[in-house]
Amino acid sequence: MIKTKFPITNQFLTLKNMFKDGVTNLEEFDYLSAKLLVDLTELTEHGVKGDDKIEGVNLDLWKDRVWHLIERTGLLPEYKETEDEVEEYVEEEDEWYKDNSGEFELDEKEPQNLKDNGFDPFYGF
- List, in sequence order, the alpha helices (H) in the chain: 7-20, 26-45, 59-73, 83-99
> What per-residue confidence (pLDDT) applies to 77?
76
Q: What is the DSSP letter of 115?
A: G
Q: Residue 56, SS3?
A: coil
Task: Write down the pLDDT at residue 100.
Answer: 56
Helix, strand or coil, per DSSP, at residue 8? helix
* Digit-coded pLDDT (tens) for 36-66: 999 999 999 999 998 999 999 999 999 999 9
Report pLDDT digits (tens) over 93-117. 555 555 555 565 655 655 556 556 6
Percentages (nearest 5) of helix, strand, coil residues in the chain? 55, 5, 40
| pLDDT greater at residue 74 or residue 86 | 74
